[in-house]
Each structure stands twice: as C-alpha cells, then as structure tokens.
Structure 1
C-alpha cells in the first residue's frame, strides 16, 4: 500500500495502513483528509498516534461516533464537508501520539473517551486553587463516600472499590495529560500540573482511607492523619513517583486503637499500591518515618514529638521542611503541623546540620551510575535536585529568622527568596526558568508509559519524540532539546556558587563597592556571617576580614580573586576546616600577588583552583610546605606534575648540587628534599596515583637526601690529618623497611672502619672524634629550617642505645654482637638497610649482621624473650589512659602486633627462606604466605590492619601537621582523616568502624600466631 501525501505532509506506509483502517471503522475519509493528516503528523509520534486512535476506536465501537461529533464544527453528516475542531482534535491526537499508557487506559475504559472531548476539559489547570477540593470530592464519590463527612467511609469496598478509585484517578490524569500536552507553553503551567498531581494523590489517599475505614473501622473512631513529605508535601509531584507519607495517630489512642490504625494504614497503602484488576497507582513510601523501615508504621503525635525532640537525625528535620497534612483526620494533621514544623528552623542551627545536608546531596550524586549521569535530568549535575537543594539551603540558613521564606514549594521559595533579597531576582528567575523546563522534560519522559524515569533517552528516535513532545513550535529536534538542557544545567551549576557566596563578597567590601546605609550594611554583614557559619566557617567574622582583604580595591589581583573566590569558598566549605583554608589562601595569594601566571591559572584552570582548595582545606602539612614554596602551586594545573620523579633524575640533580656547591651543598639538597616531599604530599592529598607507593617514595627521597648530605659534610670536614676511613649510614626501623610516613624519624646507625689497620691509639681517638663530628653535623645540617623541610636523624636504635657511642667502628660492632647482643637487637636488625657510605664496608656489615637476624636456629629461650618483651611493651609503653583498641602503633592489632608477628617468622625461618630476607613487612608477609608458614586469610587480615594503621598515621599527619598516636576521637580530625583516605564526606565513623573491625581481626591472628593462644 502506498503512503499518503497531503498538501504539506507525507504519511509513511505503515501509518497510512492504520488510517485506512480508521476510515473503515468510522465510515469517514480521514486517511485522505489533509487537515487531519497534518494534525496527525504534528504529534510527537504520528505512527503511535494513528495506532493509538485505531485501538481506542476499536474498543469504543459504536460509541466512537461521539468522537466524530466532537471534532466536527458543522452540522453535516460528512466530516469532509465540515470544518474540524482543530484544537480539540490536536488535543486528542497529542494524547494518542505521546502516551501509550493513556491509550491503554482508554482501551480498558472506552467510555472515558468523552473526558478528552468535553468542553470543560481545561478546568483542571485553569483553576488550580479549586482543583484540590474538586478532586477530593470526585475521588470520594467514586467509592461512595461523603466528602462532607469528617471521617468519610466508602460504600464501595474491596476489589470493586479499588477499581473505582484507580479508574477515577486515571480519568483525572487523562484529562490533565491532555491539558498539559495541548499547552502552547507547557513550562508556564507546569506548577499547576504538579499541584494537580499532588492534590490528586492526596485525594486518592483520602479515598483509599475511606475504603479502609469502611472495611475495618465502621465507627470511624480512629483519628488517623496522613502527612505527605517530599514532592507531594510541597505540591510539586510529578506524574509517576513514590508518594512519601507518614501516618500520625491521635495521642490519646490506646493500644487497641493503635493496632486498628496500623491495619488502616496498611490497607490504605495496599489499596493504592498492590497489584489488582486495575493497575496500581504508585508506591506509598513510608520509609521516611521515624527509624525508617524498622520503625512502627503508625505513631501517635506525642511519640513523633518525643522522637524529633530527642532522637531524630539532622536529615529528618530537612524532610519535615516539605511536610503537609493531606488526608485523614484534619485536627490531628493540624496539630502535627503546629507542633513539628517549627522544629525545622530550630534544627537548622545544629552543629553540622548544613554540612550533613550537603554530604547527603553529594552521596546521591555519587550513587548515580556513570553511564547515566550525563542523561539524568533529576539527580545529575545542574539538574532538578540542584535547584531544589539550592533553594532549601538558602531557606534553612535564613529561614531561622525570616518566616516569610518558610515554604515547602521550590518555585514559591525561589520567588520569596528573590523578593526578600536572599538571592538576586534575576538569579531567582533563571533558577525558576530552568526548573520549569526540566520539570516539563521529566514529565514528558514519564508520560509515554507512566513509569518512574528521569533519564534522557540515548536512542535517537526516542530522543526525537521526546523533543517533539517538549517543543510545540520552532525546531523540535533532539539536538535542540539537548542543547537547551545542557545550557540550563550550566546556568544552575554556575548560580550555586554565586548565590551562596557572591553576597558574602558584596557584604565584605560594601554592596557594589559603594558606601551603604549603616543599618543595611550591618544587616548584609550579618547575613553573610550567617551563611559562612552555616557552611562550616567557625569564625565567620574573621573569615569576612580575610575576604575583604582579598577582594578590596580595583587591582588586577583583587578583580581576579573576586571572580574565583565564590567557587573557592564553596570548595573550602566542602573540606573540614574552611577557616584555615581561607587564611592559607590569603597568605598564598599575598606571596604570589605579583605573579601574573598565578592569577591566570586561578581564573582559567578549574582543576588548579579546585586542587588548591582541596589542599588548603584538608592538609595543614601540605599547606605549610606549599606556603614555604608557593611557586609549586603551578604544579596543580596538571596532575602529571605530581607523579614521582625518577630516582636517576633526582640523583643526577643532587650530584650537580654537590659539584656546584661542594661543602655547602646540604642547604640546596634539603631544599630539593623539601620540594619533592611537597610533590608527594600533594599527590597524596589529591589522590593521584597509588597511595601504597608513597612510603617507598618517601623512603627513597630520604635515602637520596642523606647520601647527598653525607658527601657534602665529608667534603667539608675531612682534612689531610684525618686518617683514611670508610663510613656508612644504616637505616633502621620503618626507614630501613622503606615504610616511612610523613611522621617518621629517620632511625639510623653509623659504622666506620679505618683503612689502615695499624693506627695507634692517638690516631684512632682523633678519627673517632672526627666521625662523631661528621655524624653530628650530618644530623644538624639536615634538620628542617624556616625555608625547607628536613630529615630528623635518630640514632637511639644503636647498640646500647643512648648510652652507647654515636659512631661505632666495624670491629666494635663485631665484638658487641659476639658477646652482648640480645634477641631484640637481632629483631631490630631485620630492618637494617644501608643507605649511604662506602660499598665495601656496607657489604661487610651485611655479612656481619645476616647471621644474627637470620639465625640457623632460634632457641626456645630467645623465642620466649621476644614474646615476653612484646607483652611488656603492651603493658608499659602504651601511654596512660590510651585506648588499646585505637593506638596506631602499640594498640591491639595495630602496627606493632603485625610487625612482631612477621619478624618472629623471619627470625625462625629467614635462614632457609630467601624471600623472608627483606626489610619490608608486607614483602616478608607475602613470602611467609607463599612458603605456607601463614594461611592466606590470616596474612590478608594482618596486611589489611598494617596498611590501614599506616595510612591513618600518614593521613592525620597530613591533616594537622603533627604525628598521631591513636585513631582520632575528635569528630573533625576523624572526618579529615577519612576524607584523606578516600572516604566520602560524612563517613568518618565508617573509617572508625573499619579500623576497629580490621585490627580486631588482626589481633586474633597475632595472638594465635605470635603467642600461640
């Protein structure tokens, strides 16, 4: 069959087949009527419209004559001789060509077709204020209940009542869809559409409760109210969404009444949500009730009051912002509103309230599957939720003192916020326009199948149909839809930082830089301080002072910082100590104020600006290093700049410094060390690369600095009168294991050997004194200075500790180890690693200590001594009042437990197993597992605890700039530590739980493998 061509439009063959079938059914020449064909082809899906109309006409049978009568404007019996009612026909075809779900409804109930054709079809949106009352009356009458009754009871119950309720609901949705799709500018009526959907949901709940009452509460004695939350409460429900509610019972109710109320609530939910002869409407979601799904479905008002007074979490008060009684007992609903809604504005002053809300928003975004994020109209960046979030945040900050902005509806809130000056009226208009457009798109995504959906289709054909349903004129392509949506998303994202932080800048420097009325000035400053405090700034007045210092004036620096500071303030507040970050940024900016590249980078590189904010707000350690070397901020323009430098390149750099500077090379070597330490710290804070490599990188860097410094010191101090000698630095402890953190001292031993065996006593004394001076100078010159970080050498692990000589000869080491060495010293030697000095001496020293640390046999007495010493350490070295579960080094299952367990295995089996002859704890643990000395599961638990304790120590050092003995107990410090370890905002206690669980498991393994329990 050939297609049909009208004066303006060509109809595809498959669609034409449906039109010819319509001709036969109706007895009218629709297929050849160009007026009808042009209207059909203007629908979003002409093929679907033709098929839908055909299905409805087939279902309607003889009643389809009403359709022809309605769309005819004349009196003739022939459609061809009459004028068409083009608006009505376009309305009918729009529904057929957009919503398969509505076609299905009409096929099930063809007698509902006249609802699309009635003259008063537009009443649903033309009088939204009256729609709530009218819809409630319609829904209650559908089940035979009296709307005037204070506790209506249905006369039609059971399956019949459910079918009547659901059909009446969908009849109303049918009319609303038609009104919505017929609108020339749907974004202008979208608030009415949302209000009608919300009122319709409320009416359905009241009718469902009427059915439940009739079935279970014939006397109507239960005073039960239904409180809507979320979009329903705000009167901004979309076509398909869960309807969030809580059920509230009169406080005077006894246990029997409570039980009956629970039955009523469950039945009400089932009437609307359970499968049945007529499809369910939507899910009645009660998960926002106190204690969530674990809590009682129904609570009395007094129980709600107690819960919110003593138990509720911060986010639960935010949920109350949109609470509204919508069904059931009016008196109980009003009492709920009067008693609980004011708590929203009191809770907004709670510590961490705003931060918790922001954290929740970030978690929602993080949970969006990566493949869906770019197509999410609701939860994606710059989407509907961002508009709602921005409005709510401003309300929660300023609604504490201004009742005029306390409204649950987003569009009303934006209008009020603009009217009261909390947001620029132009910005409020942009937000509102974006919100209206995105709501229309969301509705058009849901209308076809009436399914929950907020994703832009990735199929080109479906995207085209969506665009044609959104736009009534002009270009109706998918490209236009996507371009418009992306433009609104960009505007919403940009406005967020401006809305929250631009007024702070204006208040700090004076509105528009002008002298303002004293009262207005004071008011704006207070509002700015309120915002800063709400977003985590603990000293808002001090922060305003920093902002003023940064932005006052007309210099290029001030102008650029005014542009970037709103975003920076937002990012600082995402951190843990925004005040400290702002102060550090001020210091950094002042030191680089004359550097044009710095200002250009801040303005043009979003990555650099965000990275600066992250570093300054999360790491006091990295911040101080950066403030010593401010030019290094240029690295943050590209993360490749933070990758570890090749050791050969760094060695060549140090060699060049030694050639150029000779005896005074220690200072530039220390500067090189400080620079590379900063690079590593920045990489760590910004989570660039593999965090597990950082201890090795830090150790290699320390090796390099000590080697170079030793050569410079020897060049300076060695003189002709000093006998020739060999000298070596032996790394011990975590440095020896290449396992250091930012917190670690450099544990070392010094060994020397005269090249001439025949030195007399005087020469030996002179050499010994000289080498003590070399060791002392090496330690002194490597220490940190005002301009650079340094290395803190610690020789306390040498034989005899602080009582023994600082520098010991090789022959003295031989004599000592032959006569006096204790098992713990052999254990300490397991980590001995030469890092600097003469190769021949190093080789001989390793030959000396290897038989001690890898003995052919570990006597039982020695094993007992090691175990006894470990037990004494746990009792004696743990600080008084320290929590054994949290101490990072000596606590249960922490570093010491793991290391001593591994070292005992090395002492027992290192002689025969080469893999155990390593200074690395994790490498030795892996070797022990491969050799079958330790079960894989035990090894994994030990490794996990050791790694986590190591990471926590480094993270705390990064945050506060000083060492940590225990897992932080302070909330702020724990939160910062968690963030630095990759946990999301607000997950500090998750880190705490992970640490305690991991070390508990490791302790059990240690007690079994080390003590033999």
Structure 2
C-alpha cells in the first residue's frame, strides 16, 4: 500500500491520516494509489498538502463529484488511476502544499477549486499591454464596471463590491501561483510573475477607484490619477509588498473636486487595505508623496510642478525613476509621467545627488538587526537591494546623457547596461541570474501565509519546506538552498565592487578596447570621469592619473593593486574625501611597494584593506602619522594590535631607550610617542574600544614622553660642575586635567630646587642658567620633526606669564603665591599636576599649591572677580565674527562655561569635599552632584555638553589635521566629524542639532548656577 514516508514519523503519520480522510470524503481509494501519493509527496509539505485538500473538499457542495470531474475522469462513478490528470492535479497539490493562505481562500470559496485545474493564461500573455488590459477587464468586471470607459464606475459597491474585488484578485493570484510553483525553472519566468503581479495590483487599484467613484463621484467630474512608484511602477512587484503610490488631480480642479478626490483616495486605500470579511490585499503606502505623511494626500499637477521645482529633495527625484500611471484618469497620469519623468535625469546631475543615494543605502543596511543580517534576502550584503542599487546607480550616472538605458525595471536595466557597455555582458548576466534566483526565494518565503517577509527561516523544518518550494528537482534540501544563496550573494558582492570601478581602471591605463564606439561608451575616459565625479571624486582627472600610476605595468605591485583597487575606490567614495584618500593610498603604496607582506595583506585581508580605506578618507591626522610610519599599516590586519599599551610596559620601553642612548634618547622617545599616538588615533578612527578613554590615553602617553625626555636632557646637560638640584615639570590646563585631545598644546610650568640651600650667588646664577637651558632644550627637542610627531610645551600659564622667568625655584613659587597670587591663578592651579621630575619636589609643590586651590573659604571679592573675569573673557577673547553658539571653547554652553562652573564649585567646596580635589572636570562634576552641590540633572546637562564639545574638537582635528575652534558648518567637514563620532553616514546635521541643543541646555544651567553660588 502506498504511503507517505519522506517526513518525520509523526508528520508522515499525520499526512497519511489526512489521505485516509480524503478517501472517506470522496469514497475513492486515492490514498492507496501510488501515483496520487507520489504527487502529494512531491509537494513542499505533504502534510500541509493533504490537510489542505481535505479542508477544501469538505467544503464542496456535492461531496467528491466536483473533484472527480476536475481530476480528469470521464464522468461520475469510481475513478481509476488512469483517469487521474496528473499535471493538473499536481498543480493543485503544489499550491495546497505551499500556501496555507491559498488553502484558506479555497475554503472560503470552494468553487474556485476548478481554477487550479485549468491552464492559466496569465504567464502566456506576450506584452505588458495585453497583461494589464486583461487583468483590468477581469477585476473591473468583478465589481460590475465597464473597463472600456476612461472613468469606470462599479455597480457593486460597499462591502459587497469590496468582497467581490478581493476575491477576484485572489482567484487570479491562485492561478498565477499555480503556474509559478509548478514551473520547472521558476527563475526563467520570475520577471513574468512580477509583471503580472504589478499589473494585477494596478487593476485592483482601478477597480477600487471604480467603487470609490460610484460611491463619491457618480457623475465622474473628478479627474484623479494614481501614480505607482517603487516595484509596482517598475512592474517587478512581489507577491506581498506595500504598494507605493501618489495621487494627482487635474490642475483646473475646483476646491470641491479636490475634497471629493481626497475622499476617493482615502476610500481606495480602505477598499484595498482595511480589514474585512474578505482579507485585505496589501497596504497602499502614500508616504512617498511630497512632504510625506504631513503633506496633502492629493495634489494638482501644478502643485507637483511647484514642489519638484523648488522644494523636493534628491531622493524624491530618485523615486520618480519608477513612477508609472496605473489607474484613474489616463490623461492626467500620462501628463505626470511626461512632465516629471525627465526631471530624474536632470536632478541626477546635481552635486551630492549620487552621494546622497549611497548614504541612504548605507543607512538602510546599518538599520538591519545584527541577528537578521545573515538571513536577509532583500537588504543584506549581496542581496536583492544590492543588485537593484547597482543597476539604478549606474543608470543615474550615465542615463543623464544616454536615454537608451532609462528603464525602471531592474532586469531590463541590467540588460541595457550590458548591451551599451556600461558593465560587461557577463557581469550583467551574472547579476540577472542572482537577482532572478533571489526573487524566487523571496516569493517562496512570502507565499505560505502571504505575509511581507524577506528572511530565510532559521527553523530547520521550515527551511526544508522553503527549499522544496524553490527546487523542483535534484536535491531539495535546506543545505542546497543556503549554499546556492551564499554563492549568489558572494557573486553579487564581488560584482558590486567590480562593475563600478573596474571599467575606470581599464580606461585609466588604456586597456585595449577601453575606448570603443558610440554603442559601448561605458569604459571611455569621459564615462570613467563621469562615474568618479558621481561617486564623490571632485578631481576625476587627477584620480584617473593616480589610478594609472598605481595599476600600470606588469609588476607584482601593479597586479595586486588592480585586484584590490576597485573595492578601495568604492570604500574611498563611501568616505568624505575620496580624492585625498586616493592620493594618500598612492603615497602609502609607494612607500611599501617592495614589502611583500603589504601586498599580501591588501589582497588577502578584507579587514585590513577596508580599514586602510576608512582611515585614509576620514582622517588626515592619522594619515599623516601613517605616512610617516607606513609599516604600522600592518596593525590594521588585527585590531588587537591597536589596543592601548600598558603605561608600565611603555615606561619600561622608554627606560630601555634611556639606558641604551642616554642623552641622545629624545629623538627615539619622540618616535615612540608618535608611534603610540598613531595607535590611539587609529583606534579612535576605526571605533575600536571606548572613545571616552582617548583623552586619558593621550595624557598618559604625553606624561611618559615628557618624563623620559626630561631624563634624557639632564643626562646630556648635567655634569659635575653643576650644583645638585631637583627639577620638575607641572602639567597645566587640559594636560593637567588628563583631558587632552589631538588638538591640545602641553601647558606646563617648570620648577627646580638646589639640594644645597646655601649656594653662593655665583653658584645660584650658574644653576639658574643651567635649568633654563634644560627647560629650553626639553621644549625644543620634543617638537615635531620630519619623521615623528612632537609635543609643544607651552609655559605661558606660569606666574607672570611671558614676563616671568621660564623656570622658578621652589622658594620663588612660595614667595609669589604668598604675596601676589590672583584668584585666576588659584583657579588655574586646579588643573596643576606634576608629571615629570624628582618625586620629593613634585610632592612639595603639590603641598604648596593645595591650600591655594582648595581654600578654606572663598572671599566674596574673589568670587566676584572670578565671575567678572568670566564675563570679560566672553566679550574679549571670542574671535571677531565668531558664532557664539558654535565656538567649541568660548561659545555659549561649551567647554569654558562648563569648566568655569565646575572650577567655581571646587574653589568654594573642595576644602570640605575631598572628592573635588581632582584636576579632571567630569569626575569633579560627578562628585559635586553626589554631594548635592548641584542638581544631578544639571550636572548631566553640563557633562553632556562638555563631552560633546571635547569629542567634536578631537574629531575635527582627526579629519583635517589642524585645530578646530568651532563646530564645522561646511558640509564635508561636518559629515566627517559626525562619522568619526559614530553617527551614520549623512548625519552631519543631526550632530549639529545635537550639539546646539546640548550647549543651549548647558548654557542655561551655567547662567543659573555660576552666578547663583
């Protein structure tokens, strides 16, 4: 006896029980007929197929007679195996075994069963016009509307009309699905399937509009057109997808007609999308209309003309690429297409148009949940959207001057791009094959419950069912499906990198055939330059020169660069300054071209190559350091190499340099400093580790370098003729607070003390001259050189500033602070931190200044002086013409506001609150909040503004390699700053908004708290 055995024992037993029940319903021995059982077992889910058939048969009016007739038997009576019409029955079972949603439809409408046992005509229609016309007649006929009129009105309206429309739609869908699922090679007909689905959606909108017209505009005075966008407009719709539309009204419409048109549009949406006894078809999405959900649902042609002329954003023109009139008034619809279709290609030539589109694509990818990314058919790396994006981007670049590649349909676009030489014919074919396969998989994911979905199931049983619905022969396993999908995804990813830039390489080096006739323009020098310009290269001719230099010849270096440069060019253009990145890459390659490891790393390590690109395009500062130390590029192959060095280990390294090189060690210490500075900068640019730790890491590094350099200088300069002495360097300002950035000078004071306090005048003079020489040598030797970054020691914060001695004795500091110290100097000492020199002197200096900066009480006069000085500084030190909202240090709510507020708290309360005795701003602010000296919410506002201003200063320095005084307002600089701070691409204005909001809040707190205390 034939039985189902291919499933798990439980599933097989369940399927066989359903077959037995079918026999009972029919009174026929089908369950024992091996041919029938084979048909059931061939379905994606035999258990579901058997259950679905049983459910449908139980709803038939005349028991099994209808099924017997439909099955191909000659007439009533017992059926024999010879009577089975195997292809037709197989179509039926394939649908029942794949789509529970269609089973539900047949249960609701069992008389539709016969539709599955007929050859459907929809995939046999040869032209789009024929398909659209046939489906329009079918669905309009279902609601009793005359399809041959320009403004059909339905006879069946209300809930009856809606039910008729929705059932007719699903009846067509049922027959289409049967053709699709029963096809030997579904990839070959997927374009026909999507075209029919698109035309079916258009016909449904026309029928829904006919109902709305009959209900709201029976005289047909309203001239309203429906314009489809997205997949519907391109005739590549899925089984389940939102249908994007905009509504257009004739320009001469009255206010009353506008009101009725709006009601008709709303009604059309409800007819198709609202819940009902007959389930909704799909969501009609109008979010792409001008001004989105906040804009009017219906606009006139003249209003659209004004909007697209003066207001529309670049992405809105991109959406017009797939615009197509699908329902309503044909003249209004065609006028819309004729008027706005050409504007796509005009807008595509705007500066930043292509870059904006690419940024939107990156944002979409970034929003994919990490857990879903590997299972995404549509949005993931190498998925459907990458194919669509690649084709559309090339169209937008080259379609500006070539109308032969202007088509909204992805497969047609790929064919045109290949035919006209913008991509290789083989590449076009490979893209198309991947796209066709992935569209089939996407459809098979949606068909079971007719739900919008683009995720491969992670359940093994569901994956197996999906694979059996995709493959009709051979191994129909989940493993085969996943392997095939991965292969296509890898191919798409590779092609995505290659098709944009490989022709540019060919054109740049003058490969044979690169410049060809007018029908193959894609790799001409002009087309290459156009493509580079569109992808963000401001100097495409210069870029072509660099590309030629990098890839010309048959050397190993040139051959490897040819392999990796397409991807690098793409990554450069994803950044902010691709021209600078390409030039820097050329310089880096020139430095390392003889290093086999470098070429191997570029070729074999995707992480290293992409990291190189990211650094070169985002950070001029890190790039400069890298070009000075090119071997450090090896760190990018393993991010563990970028981890912060333990200060003790680094200190031991500097001690080793001192031991080996004695007084000449400063240059090597500076090289060590430069190397570790690069490590920190690379970690920061690539967002490896905690960005909040960077100021502390930079400060620790500077401490070690200055300490080691001081020892080297003294080893070089000290001799037996110099009286014994102690010497110390005291860090001030942001260095003293361990808050430095890449922008910071090293504010410092120098102090010394003779071991013998009874030196005579000559000895004291000699020692004074010597320690000044030590300070000057320390300062000059630490400055940058051609091979290494340096440290600029700045002693302007010393007592009496530039008018005072560069180096003072400890006794002189005692005397000065006892007699002459001003409140501002006590405030400056809040950040004083000895960092180098003799321990006993640094300890005594700290003990000397603590009573000054942490006084037992702050006199009213001193308090007033600090407040007055702050107000004067805002007026006098802010550069002329500077925007007070954007200045990072002296602006409203920026660094100065926060630091002065915190320092005033320290001056007033550090004597009694030991936790305030810190040189760092944020820890002091936290302690003040914990001690109740400032409300926690106010402290949080101040901390947020201070941190953001600090981060922005460092990020701008990283990008352009020089100090920033204000929040950038130039687009590329603001964009780079945002990306370096972890914002997504295209979020520069978001950073601007965040900064202005944070500093506005901080300013309000400062004005209340600083002057209130």
Tell me, yes or no, if structure 1 residue 529 matches structure 2 residue 529: yes
Deviations 1:248-273 (A, max 9, x none): 00011121111111011111111111
Deviations 1:539-565 (A, max 9, x none): 000000000000000000000000000
Tell me, yes or no, if structure 1 residue 543 matches structure 2 residue 543: yes
Partner residue in 1 for 2:406: 406
Deviations 1:178-213 (A, max 9, x none): 111111111111111100010000001011111111
Q: 1:294 to 1:6 in 2, by over 3 A?
A: closer
Matches within 5 A, 1:885-900: 885-900=885-900
Deviation at 1:324, TM superposition (A): 0.2
Partner residue in 1 for 2:447: 447
- Taking the aligned partners of 1:724 and 1:275, their CA distance within structure 2 comes to 93
- Taking the aligned partners of 1:13 and 1:361, their CA distance within structure 2 comes to 48
Q: 1:899 to 1:6 in 2, by over 3 A?
A: closer
Partner residue in 1 for 2:825: 825
- Taking the aligned partners of 1:471 and 1:516, their CA distance within structure 2 comes to 42
Deviation at 1:5, TM superposition (A): 6.6
Partner residue in 2 for 1:487: 487
Deviations 1:107-135 (A, max 9, x none): 111111121123x4244445453221111
Deviations 1:226-281 (A, max 9, x none): 00000000000011111100000001112111111101111111111111221111
Q: 1:188 to 1:517 in 2, by over 3 A?
A: closer
Q: 1:143 to 1:515 in 2, by over 3 A?
A: closer
- Taking the aligned partners of 1:89 and 1:744, their CA distance within structure 2 comes to 79
* 8 Å contact from structure 2 (residues 27, 64) kept in 1: no
Partner residue in 1 for 2:42: 42
Matches within 5 A, 1:345-494: 345-494=345-494
Counterpart secondary structure, 2:831: coil
- Taking the aligned partners of 2:531 and 2:273, their CA distance within structure 1 comes to 42
Deviation at 1:9, TM superposition (A): 13
* 8 Å contact from structure 2 (residues 506, 523) kept in 1: no
- Taking the aligned partners of 1:113 and 1:310, their CA distance within structure 2 comes to 54
Deviation at 1:762, TM superposition (A): 2.0
Q: 1:524 to 1:458 in 2, by over 3 A?
A: same
Partner residue in 1 for 2:699: 699
Deviations 1:580-607 (A, max 9, x none): 0000000000011111111011011111
- Taking the aligned partners of 1:644 and 1:179, their CA distance within structure 2 comes to 62
- Taking the aligned partners of 1:516 and 1:501, their CA distance within structure 2 comes to 18
TM-score, scaled relative to structure 1: 0.98
Deviation at 1:81, TM superposition (A): 5.6
Tell me, yes or no, if structure 1 residue 65 matches structure 2 residue 65: yes
- Taking the aligned partners of 2:174 and 2:521, their CA distance within structure 1 comes to 54
- Taking the aligned partners of 2:983 and 2:124, their CA distance within structure 1 comes to 47
Aligned residue pairs total: 1011
Partner residue in 2 for 1:496: 496
- Taking the aligned partners of 1:522 and 1:375, their CA distance within structure 2 comes to 34
Partner residue in 2 for 1:632: 632
* 8 Å contact from structure 1 (residues 125, 176) kept in 2: no
Deviation at 1:67, TM superposition (A): 2.4
Partner residue in 2 for 1:4: 3
- Taking the aligned partners of 1:355 and 1:944, their CA distance within structure 2 comes to 31
Deviations 1:929-948 (A, max 9, x none): 22111111111111111111
- Taking the aligned partners of 2:926 and 2:642, their CA distance within structure 1 comes to 30
- Taking the aligned partners of 1:522 and 1:494, their CA distance within structure 2 comes to 19
Tell me, yes or no, if structure 1 residue 936 matches structure 2 residue 915: no
- Taking the aligned partners of 1:395 and 1:193, their CA distance within structure 2 comes to 24
Q: 1:67 to 1:448 in 2, by over 3 A?
A: same
* 8 Å contact from structure 2 (residues 122, 176) kept in 1: no
Deviation at 1:12, TM superposition (A): 2.7
Q: 1:7 to 1:936 in 2, by over 3 A?
A: closer
Partner residue in 2 for 1:193: 193
* 8 Å contact from structure 1 (residues 162, 271) kept in 2: yes
* 8 Å contact from structure 1 (residues 729, 751) kept in 2: yes
- Taking the aligned partners of 1:991 and 1:85, their CA distance within structure 2 comes to 67
Deviation at 1:523, TM superposition (A): 6.6
Deviation at 1:27, TM superposition (A): 2.2
* 8 Å contact from structure 1 (residues 365, 380) kept in 2: yes
Partner residue in 2 for 1:906: 906
Counterpart secondary structure, 1:244: strand
Q: 1:502 to 1:77 in 2, by over 3 A?
A: same
Counterpart secondary structure, 2:91: helix
Partner residue in 1 for 2:767: 767
Partner residue in 2 for 1:615: 615
Deviation at 1:319, TM superposition (A): 0.6
- Taking the aligned partners of 2:634 and 2:6, their CA distance within structure 1 comes to 66
Deviations 1:415-463 (A, max 9, x none): 1111001111111111111111111111111111111111111111111
Counterpart secondary structure, 1:380: coil
- Taking the aligned partners of 2:907 and 2:691, their CA distance within structure 1 comes to 30
Partner residue in 2 for 1:868: 868
Deviation at 1:71, TM superposition (A): 2.1
Tell me, yes or no, if structure 1 residue 834 matches structure 2 residue 834: yes
Q: 1:605 to 1:142 in 2, by over 3 A?
A: same
- Taking the aligned partners of 1:931 and 1:950, their CA distance within structure 2 comes to 25
Deviations 1:330-373 (A, max 9, x none): 00011001110111111111111111111111111111122211
Partner residue in 2 for 1:963: 963
Partner residue in 1 for 2:803: 803
- Taking the aligned partners of 2:2 and 2:81, their CA distance within structure 1 comes to 24
Deviations 1:850-907 (A, max 9, x none): 1100111100100000000000000100001111111000011111111111111111
Matches within 5 A, 1:322-341: 322-341=322-341
Partner residue in 2 for 1:207: 207
- Taking the aligned partners of 1:841 and 1:7, their CA distance within structure 2 comes to 87
* 8 Å contact from structure 1 (residues 537, 578) kept in 2: yes
Partner residue in 1 for 2:567: 567
- Taking the aligned partners of 1:617 and 1:518, their CA distance within structure 2 comes to 35
Deviation at 1:661, TM superposition (A): 1.2
Deviation at 1:516, TM superposition (A): 7.2
* 8 Å contact from structure 2 (residues 522, 528) kept in 1: no
Q: 1:325 to 1:786 in 2, by over 3 A?
A: same
Tell me, yes or no, if structure 1 residue 151 matches structure 2 residue 151: yes
Q: 1:193 to 1:64 in 2, by over 3 A?
A: farther
* 8 Å contact from structure 1 (residues 33, 80) kept in 2: no
- Taking the aligned partners of 1:438 and 1:647, their CA distance within structure 2 comes to 53
Counterpart secondary structure, 2:968: coil
Q: 1:5 to 1:999 in 2, by over 3 A?
A: closer
* 8 Å contact from structure 1 (residues 124, 175) kept in 2: no
Name structure 2 gaps, 5 residues minimum. Answer: none
Q: 1:462 to 1:519 in 2, by over 3 A?
A: closer
- Taking the aligned partners of 1:6 and 1:673, their CA distance within structure 2 comes to 72
Q: 1:6 to 1:588 in 2, by over 3 A?
A: closer
Deviation at 1:511, TM superposition (A): 2.4
Deviation at 1:519, TM superposition (A): 12
* 8 Å contact from structure 1 (residues 390, 496) kept in 2: yes
- Taking the aligned partners of 1:592 and 1:797, their CA distance within structure 2 comes to 44
Partner residue in 2 for 1:121: 120
* 8 Å contact from structure 2 (residues 515, 525) kept in 1: no
Deviation at 1:716, TM superposition (A): 1.5
- Taking the aligned partners of 2:974 and 2:1000, their CA distance within structure 1 comes to 19
RMSD: 1.8
- Taking the aligned partners of 1:148 and 1:13, their CA distance within structure 2 comes to 54
Tell me, yes or no, if structure 1 residue 950 matches structure 2 residue 957: no
* 8 Å contact from structure 1 (residues 8, 38) kept in 2: no
Deviations 1:290-312 (A, max 9, x none): 00000000000111111111111
TM-score, scaled relative to structure 2: 0.98
Name structure 1 gaps, 5 residues minimum. Answer: none
Counterpart secondary structure, 1:288: coil
Q: Which moved more, 1:588-597 or 1:54-63?
A: 54-63
Tell me, yes or no, if structure 1 residue 247 matches structure 2 residue 256: no
Q: 1:966 to 1:142 in 2, by over 3 A?
A: same
